Amino acid sequence: MEPTELISEALGTLTVNKMRTGLAILGIVIGIGSVIALVSLGQATQQTISSQIESLGANLLTVEPGAQRSGAVRGAFGGGTTLTLDDANAISTSPQVTTVQNVSPEVQRRAQVTTGSNNTNTEIVGATPAYLIVHKITLSSGSFISQRDVKGITKVAVIGPQVVSDLFGEGTDPVGQDIRINGKTFTIIGVTVSKGGTGFLNRDDIVYIPLTTAMKEIFGINYLNSIALEAKSPDVMTQAQNQVGYLLLARHKLGDPTQADFSIFSQQDILNTASATTGTFTTLLSGIAAISLLVGGIGIMNIMLVTVTERTREIGLRKALGAKKQTITLQFLTESIILTFSGGVIGVGVGIIASYIISNLISSPFAVSLSSIALAFIVSAGIGILFGWYPAKRAANLQPIEALRYE
Amino acid sequence: MKSRPIIETSHLSKIYKNDSVETVALVDVTFGINEGEFVAIMGPSGSGKSTLMHILGALDLPTSGTYILDGENVEKLTDDELADIRNRKIGFVFQAYNLLPRTSALKNVMLPMAYAGVPKEERRDKADKFLKMVGLGDRINHTSNQLSGGQQQRVAIARALSLNPAILLADEPTGNIATTQAEEIMAIFQQLNDQGHTIVMITHEPDIAEHAKRIIHIRDGKIVKDSDGHKQKLVSHKSTS
């Protein structure tokens, strides 16, 4: 029989019991749909994180206190007290360090920020003018913290757009107004442009104040939480990492690099860690979705076994009229593949719609990869063959006399 | 007109083994059927006539003995080889018609030709021709459940004829059909026999067996009487267009 005949005959049989066919397909629709939705969701999240990290600067290095770990695992933030402002100054002035062009010493901690009527809990960052360049911050109004502010320990603040809308309402320009941080009054001198992002990467929910003010007046500390470095180009990242590393080892009087009380990592290191994390998460979710696909496949097998039993007499007749085992096998495989494949087609549609809705809800970019769609088709057809095989073989091996006698 | 042998059996036996119980269904059956014969195999139920029909129809293999169908030895063949023999050499007509449900008469008749690999156009033309021959030219697109018992059996006959088989094998072809329609079915068989088709019919009804030219009586798995050349009861041929 020609393939087109096999297909049209199988379609004819499948449309007889529409309810059963529909329910069998539904299992595959849910399976494929959830795989597509979750994989594209995972990929969208990964893309979001990558683009956010990359927007922070490709030649950015970060020095943090705490022991060097394998890879780039961050120690508890602000846990170490070994980095000092002198270290930062040494990096910018040392003749050994030739590959670093900007040094931004930083302290940060969460604190309560209030105006007369509103208050918000936000990240307070103590920064120098270098911060603006190293972290590629732009201002929508006013100006950033100047060298004079740092020297004079002035009480000025530059705030992110999230803080603006939390404290003053959206669309207002608060430059010139006052806010209170830990009971001390600061004058707002600038507002940053929105960088987007959520969670620990949110660069909009930040209040920048001069480094010296933060250390002495607000946090009462004499150490830095981190030093951000801008290398001269992305090509000299490793070199910069080594130069700074050896300088700090010497300054901290440590001979053995494994004893280092600080760690230096690049954006690429963070990116790798984040990718690994979201990758694991995506794999986990896809695994769960794959299980639902497996359950759908078992549903198909169940239905096909019922069909074979119901149509025992028909199979007997077909064999009596000259159908070979292969023909019977193909007939039933065609039916199960049509079931799973149409389930796959609908499932891809459902998955795309679902991931579109979810990406709108969590405001991440909507991305459906062609490879996952292609994979869904292959997998759904494969499931048809895998789970249709046993029922089809069972049909093909029926003995014609017994099948004809079957009541 | 005794000519070419179509069926030659010698010392056919069939023993069914079920757990430890052995059931002897056929014992040492030897007979031959030539081209153009119309043979009725008669016997009460349990006589072994169904077993004989299954072996003659290559649906089952004998325990011992030889069976040659149209020059081909049907012994120790695989399932697929048997399927091929059935397809090319035997036209089955069953008691319960055994048409595919929800399928048009035309498609039912085309089915064995599809298994034989006949091109689609040719299948359609032949199916159309054979359905006209059994008088269903105006019902080729009716599905099985839209046809009466007699009409369904005529579709089955058209299906049996479609690959021009060496033998038409009918198992109680009128068993489920009202008497008047049964006569019409028998008329078609006689007409086909007149055209040269070899027909073997299993029945337990003497009335029906009377339409055959030769009656083989079987009892307890053995041939007890072979009335070659008995007087055939003739039914008037209705014109079928």
Burial class (CB in 10 A: 0-12, 13-18, 19+), A93: exposed
**Can you give the pLDDT at residue B230?**
67
Calculate mean pLDDT across residues A279-298.
87
Judgement on whether residues A363 and A289 belong to the same structural domain of the protein: yes
Residues A190-212 have pLDDT tens digits of 999 887 655 555 778 899 999 99
Domain count, chain A: 2
> What was the ipTM of the complex prediction?
0.91
CB < 8 Å to B92, chain A = 320-321
CB < 8 Å to B79, chain A = 324-325
| Final residue in a domain of this structure, among A232, A260, A288 | A260
Confidence of residue B229 (pLDDT cuts 50, 70, 90): low
pLDDT(A60) > 90: no
**Would you call A266 helix, strand, or coil by DSSP?**
strand
Asked, for residue A68, whether it belongs to a domain, the answer is: no
Judgement on whether residues A256 and A288 belong to the same structural domain of the protein: no
Strand intervals (E) in B35-73: 38-42, 64-69, 72-73
Asked, for residue A116, whether it belongs to a domain, the answer is: yes
Amino acid letter at B124? R
Residue A205 belongs to domain spanning: 81-260
Residues A84-126 have pLDDT tens digits of 999 999 998 988 888 999 999 999 998 999 987 888 899 999 9
Asked, for residue A75, whether it belongs to a domain, the answer is: no
CA gap A31, A295 in Å, rounded: 8
Residues B148-201 have pLDDT tens digits of 999 999 999 999 999 999 999 999 999 888 888 899 999 999 999 999 999 999
Query: In which residue are the tokens 């992110």 written?
Result: A160
Residues A241-265 have pLDDT tens digits of 889 999 998 888 887 777 788 888 8
Q: Which residues make beta-bridge pairs with B67?
A: B9
Whether the CB of A195 is below 8 Å from some CB of chain B: the reply is no
| Domains of chain B by residue range | 37-59+89-227
Judgement on whether residues A34 and A125 belong to the same structural domain of the protein: no
CA gap A340, A25 in Å, rounded: 6
CB < 8 Å to A325, chain B = 79-80, 83
With pLDDT > 90 as the criterion, what percentage of chain A qualifies? 42
CA B93 to each of CA A144, B58, B158: distance values in angstroms, whole numbers, following the listed order: 97, 14, 9
**Can you give the pLDDT at residue A196?**
67
Contact B213, B194 (CB under 8 A): no
Q: Which residues make beta-bridge pairs with A177?
A: none
CA distance, residue A379 to nearest chain B CA (Å): 31
List the one residue out of A1, A152, A42 whose CA is nearest residue B120: A1
Judgement on whether residues A33 and A106 belong to the same structural domain of the protein: no
Judgement on whether residues A347 and A371 belong to the same structural domain of the protein: yes
**Can you give the pLDDT at residue A78?**
43
Contact A129, A139 (CB under 8 A): no
**Residue B197 DSSP one-character state:** -
pLDDT(B241) > 50: no
In DSSP notation, B87-151 reads HHHEEEE-TT--PPTT-BHHHHHHHHHHHHT--HHHHHHHHHHHHHHTT-TT-TT-BGGGS-HHH
Residue of A13, A321, A401 for testing the chain B interface, max B β-carbons within 10 Å: A321
- Nearest by CB to residue B54, choosing from A313, A317, A401, is A401
- pTM for the model stands at 0.73
- Residue B114 and residue A320: Cβ atoms within 8 Å? no
Judgement on whether residues A112 and A228 belong to the same structural domain of the protein: yes
pLDDT(A75) > 50: no
CATH topology of domain B37-59+89-227: Rossmann fold (3.40.50)
Q: What angle do CA B141, B143, B148 make, to 5 degrees?
A: 110
Whether the CB of B92 is below 8 Å from some CB of chain A: the reply is yes
Average model confidence (pLDDT) across chain A: 86
- Residue A322 and residue B60: Cβ atoms within 8 Å? no
- Residue B112 and residue A321: Cβ atoms within 8 Å? yes
Judgement on whether residues A123 and A245 belong to the same structural domain of the protein: yes
Judgement on whether residues A241 and A343 belong to the same structural domain of the protein: no
* Residue A363: how many other CB atoms lie within 10 Å: 9
Whether the CB of B79 is below 8 Å from some CB of chain A: the reply is yes
Judgement on whether residues A280 and A146 belong to the same structural domain of the protein: no
CB < 8 Å to B120, chain A = 2, 5
Element (H, E) at B18: strand B5-18
Element (H, E) at A243: helix A237-251
- Residue A5 and residue B112: Cβ atoms within 8 Å? no
Judgement on whether residues A254 and A278 belong to the same structural domain of the protein: no
CB < 8 Å from B in window 320-349 of A: 320-327
Q: Which residue has the higher pLDDT, A41 or A363?
A: A41
Amino acid letter at A1? M
pLDDT(A76) > 50: no
- Residue A317 and residue B115: Cβ atoms within 8 Å? no
Q: How far out from the chain centre does Cα A243 lie?
A: 33
